Amino acid sequence: MPWKNQGGGPWGSGPKGPWGSGPQSAGPRPPDLEDLLRRGQDRLQQLLPGGHFSTMGIALVLIGALAIWGLSGFFRVQSEELGVVLRFGKHVRTVQPGLNYHLPYPIETVLLPKALRVSTLSIGMSLIDDPARRGRTMRDVPEESLMLTGDENIVDVDFTVLWRIKPDGVGNYLFNIQNPEGTVKAVAESAMREVIGRSQIQPILTGARTTTEASVQELMQKTLDSYGAGIQITQVQMQKVDPPAQVIDAFRDVQAARADFERLQNEAQTYANRVIPDARGRAAQILQVAEGYKEQAVAEAKGQSARFQKVYDEYKKAPDVTRQRLYLETMERILGGSEKLVYDGGNGAQSSMVPYLPLSELTPRRPPAPPATTQQQGGTR
């Protein structure tokens, strides 16, 4: 039984609207699909030669549309990027910078992350706009930079992390982590706090920066690899390592006193290095002189002893002659350097003392003659 839609819709719901159905109060209704197709055919007939819509025209339109659709797959990858091609949402390949091609949408799509660029992340400090300087200035962030050391001291550490996407981990970077920069920042702050928490404050403030940076970089890389983040940490740079601002003046005084102590200690060590070898040299010289004197005294004593022994042996052979010889040698040694007087040995008033006439002083001096033997000297006298 056919519907008689005289007064309304199939349920008799009032008069028709402007599109032929529905109540008038429902408002305008979108055009039907058939109406849109009809209008499209009319426009194609107007564009085609002669105004006739034929099979050939439809083929040409389809070929043009397919050509445009196929050419839409070309894309360019910039120098800092890598192209990640997805086929129905699945990662199928990675392409290098340059002109490349993928199957047109919606079969394949491409993502272009900055995989070849090294990114910089600052922790403990941030850039803010400064209207007074008409630019940006660095502001300290204490909630990120204040850390507790292993000896229960507080240190203010500002550092920078340089990171990039691994060339073979672009897929992990895109699909395993949602906020890469936030992840790197959280891992960096956690790793730095762990390394600082195992260290003493004094090495951190002086000469242990290189060791600390290497430890933080290693710990960050290990953590990010466990996440499968596809991120490579290239470097960790500690920008500022200071005590908290409230006690920094006292710490600087302590550092100055420690520097003075080390300087004075080095000066004392230098003085000791100069004086001790000198004293050791003089002591060695004195010991060598004493050893030489000892050897000389022993040699002389042995010589005198040997000489006495030889004299004694001769004395035993001829006591009278030896006794006379010793007497003459002794008198020669005693009277050789003294003033002499000759006494004639007379008695009574005629005896007198005649001064010795120094003939050697009246005669011209001659070169000294070789020493005569004891018998010759005794015979001359």
Put residue 318 in one of left, alpha, beta given phi > 0 → left and psi -120 to 50 → alpha. Answer: beta
**Residue whose pair of structure tokens reads 């056919």 in the numeric block:** 2
Is residue 349's pLDDT more than 60? no
Handedness of CA 138, 143, 146, 147 (dihedral sign): negative
Phi, psi dihedral angles at 48 (to 5 degrees): -70, 150
Instruction: List Cβ<8 Å contacts ≥24 apart for 135-142.
Output: none
pLDDT in tens, 19-66: 444 444 444 455 565 776 677 666 666 655 554 555 666 677 778 777
Is residue 297's pLDDT more than 60? yes
pLDDT in tens, 358-378: 656 665 555 555 554 444 444
What average pLDDT is seen over the chain?
75
pLDDT in tens, 258-269: 889 999 999 999
Q: Give me the mean pLDDT over the 110-115 stretch.
A: 73
Q: Which of 12-16, 150-154, 178-182, 354-358 has the lowest mean pLDDT?
A: 12-16
Percent of the chain whose pLDDT exceeds 90? 17
Which has more confidence, 197 or 79? 197
- Joined together, the tokens standing for residue 308 give 């006495």
Is residue 6's pLDDT more than 50? no
Phi, psi dihedral angles at 90 (to 5 degrees): -105, 135
Phi, psi dihedral angles at 111 (to 5 degrees): -115, 145
Is residue 92's pLDDT more than 80? no
- Residues facing 272 on adjacent strands: none
Q: Give me the mean pLDDT over the 193-221 stretch.
A: 86
Of 211, 207, 212, whose CA–CA distance to 147 is shortest? 212
Q: What is the pLDDT of residue 336?
A: 77
The C-alpha atoms of residue 83 and residue 298 are separated, in whole angstroms, by: 100
Overall pTM surpassing 0.75 (yes/no): no
What pLDDT band is residue 223 in, cutting at 50, 70 and 90?
very high
